[in-house]
Amino acid sequence: MCNLYRVYTSQEEIRGVTRAMVDSIGNMEPEIEVWPDRMAPIVRNTPAGRELAMVRWGLPSSSQALFEAATNRASKLRAKGKDVDFQQLLKMEPDGGTTNVRNTASMHWKRWLGVDNRCVVPITSFAEPDPANKVEGERTPNAWFANSPERPLMFFAGIWVPQWESVRKIKEGLITADLFAVLTTTPNAIVEPIHQKAMPVLLTERDEIETWLTAPWDVAKVLQRALPEDRMVLLPPGG
């Protein structure tokens, strides 16, 4: 799954391509590297108009996953002879978030597939771990992918939710934040040799962006497909 990407562009370019009328970011750094649970720019629909905003990467995990995690934690505490308030434990169960969404038939995700919860996420390149080029004793290197060697601006198809209450990190405690994730699909022939499971859904044309942000789900869902191989390149090592 994609858990690292870069945004090397300007607010003006993002607004121009997406027709965002509201810019809530302030001053955006011209070079951003985005990891899970970090803040990143997205473009979303709001009652005030299409907005460029900074949002935290990682949608809420499923209630089942959190229940199972809290159950395991409760079992360990009880094994140590401690009393457990399970409902409070469940409420405070840390959820680092789900960065990638694949199964849009899941009831957990279906509630957020409408236009109000769709967004586009600006990127210029994204990474996948490349075990084939790992050197013993060193970290697994990343393979980097882009639309072309010049790394022009493109977008992930994304989903966002407003003001979600959860514990992202234990040291933060209970917080309320806007969150987003990236839609994924079956990998194309460029990505598949390095990451067989999935690749992000990429939008490179303005009409694709408009469809994702405005069309009913039965129309927009056709965009959940791999970018054609002739519109993607594997960048040299280091991206």
b/e code 183-212 from CB counts within 10 Å (16+ = b):
bbbebbebbeebbeebbbbbbbeeebbebb
Q: What is the pLDDT of residue 89?
A: 61
- Give the least confident one: 62-71, 129-138, 211-220, 230-239: 62-71
Separation CA 232–CA 63 (nearest Å): 36
**How do residues 107-135 score in pLDDT, each as one tens digit?**
999 999 999 999 999 999 999 999 888 78
Share of the chain above pLDDT 70, in %: 97
**How do residues 69-104 score in pLDDT, each as one tens digit?**
768 777 787 788 787 777 776 676 777 789 999 999
Question: Averaged over 166-194, what is the pLDDT?
Answer: 93
Question: Averaged over 207-215, what is the pLDDT?
Answer: 98
Domains of the chain: 5-60+98-234 (3.90.1680.20), 61-94 (no CATH)
